[in-house]
Amino acid sequence: MIGYATLGTNDLPRAVAFYDALLAEIGAKRLWDSDRGVAWGVSMTQPSLGVASLSQMIWRVAEQIAKLSEAFELMPGDIIYSGTPENVGPVMRGDVIECHIDRLPNLSIKIV
């Protein structure tokens, strides 16, 4: 089982074409892509929804933290959930929200 792997390249378009073909063999598809990188994945239960990159946010992370700090005392370890990517609906009972932040353990939350 592969949790995730991070790879570097000096030719992103060529690498993306290679991994599109390679990972399609195991049923993986692109979950998101930007000018700085691409993420592929496989969902065993349902298509991935709400997959996005911080680069797609309207307000930068630092701006959000500054504004929230005016109203709340933020502490180390606090998690800030903000906004939703397009094509996402309300959270429903039984949904599983999975969060990934580079260099940190993944977080999985089941709505009961």
Half-sphere exposure (CA, 13 Å, Cβ side) for 54? 11
- At residue 11 the predicted structure's pLDDT band, cuts being 50, 70 and 90, is confident
Who wins on pLDDT, 56 or 13? 13
Pairing type for strands 37-41 and 107-110 reads unpaired
Whole-angstrom Cα distance, residue 27 to residue 40? 10
Tokens 């570097």 correspond to 8
- Burial label for 53, CB within 10 Å (0-12, 13-18, 19+), is middle
Residue 1: what pLDDT? Answer: 40
pLDDT in tens, 70-110: 999 988 877 776 666 565 667 778 887 777 666 777 778 88
Residue 28 confidence (pLDDT) above 60: yes
d(Cα 35, Cα 101) in Å, to the nearest integer? 18
